[in-house]
Amino acid sequence: MVHPLLADSVVRAIEHAASAHRGKPWVYRTFTDLNDLASHPSGVFHGDPFSVFAKLGVAANAGEQFAAELSGLNLLRDLAAIAIPTPIAAGVVAVSSGSLLLSEALPERAPQARSGADWRSIGRTLAALHRVHDESYGLDQTIGFFGPFRQDNRPVRSNRWTDFYAERRLVPRLRSAVDSGHLPSDLAAQVERVVRRLPSLCGPEPVPSLLHGDAQQHNFISTPDGAVVIDPAPYFGHPEIDLALLDYFDAVPDDVLDAYRDIRPVDHGFTERRELWRLFGYLAVVTVAGDGPFERQFLARVADAVRSYQ
């Protein structure tokens, strides 16, 4: 099958955007398929003097999702002075099959080839984000996305972290998991009990900190110049959310938190709260994964998490 990004109309749109970005004609020479590393059809179009990373969204709201992603990246760069990919032209391009998100491709090391310095750079990047504070939890840009899900970033009336986490993160993902039919009713009831117990589980009230929001390790690109952030879901919240999501899918070495602690402290209770902050993400996976081994793995994670907080 032809890769979706190699359809003639898509290639023309990418070359047109890259030519506008360059200010003179740009054509690609070769293509690298990155589908195995991404949730969207993705790849790199190699050319001179830059190459283009492209991902294609085919959902009805793909253009809105990509615009929110680009806006989130710009927010993190502007507020925390961290590195983000350079958008190609406007960054988001509509095509007949959906929407494209385009940026200059980066020279990167794969996660399995990361050095200690690469991991420490990720820790320092997170610490730089978390040093940016606000008075309220949430974000003026009220609607974002966490994966395919709309993410409500509106501040809550109480401006307490317990309420924000419950109302804007945990309860919406619980509802989506229940509505999907993939979450057993007894397990849903156990999650509800955890929600009611949040005031006694969330620990000290944090200062609202700028979050990546989806800080699992594959949402950082390791380059010779340090970590570059991709795929954010930003808002002001509890910094432990980002720390908990780092090794959400795969383990990370101690270098990450060691480098983070060189800049910011980590509360001694974080280890006990780690699964609490992952619970909304587990529910998101259960919602979309369907009936298979992957979903069953995350159902087990939900069950283990709620058992520990009963």
Give the residue numbers annotated as catalytic, written as ranges. 214
Asked if 5 contacts 43 with a C-beta cutoff of 8 angstroms, the reply is yes
**Dihedral sign (CA 167, 142, 212, 246):** positive
Q: How many CB atoms lie within 10 A of CB 261?
A: 13
Q: How many CB atoms lie within 10 A of CB 215?
A: 25
Residue 96's identity, in one-letter code, is S
Q: How far apart are CA 249 and CA 253, in angstroms?
A: 13
Asked if 310 contacts 200 with a C-beta cutoff of 8 angstroms, the reply is no
Joined tokens for residue 48:
């001179």
Backbone dihedral region of 295: left (phi > 0), alpha (psi from -120 to 50 degrees) or beta? alpha
Q: How far apart are CA 283 and CA 302, in angstroms?
A: 7
Owner of token pair 């700028």: 210
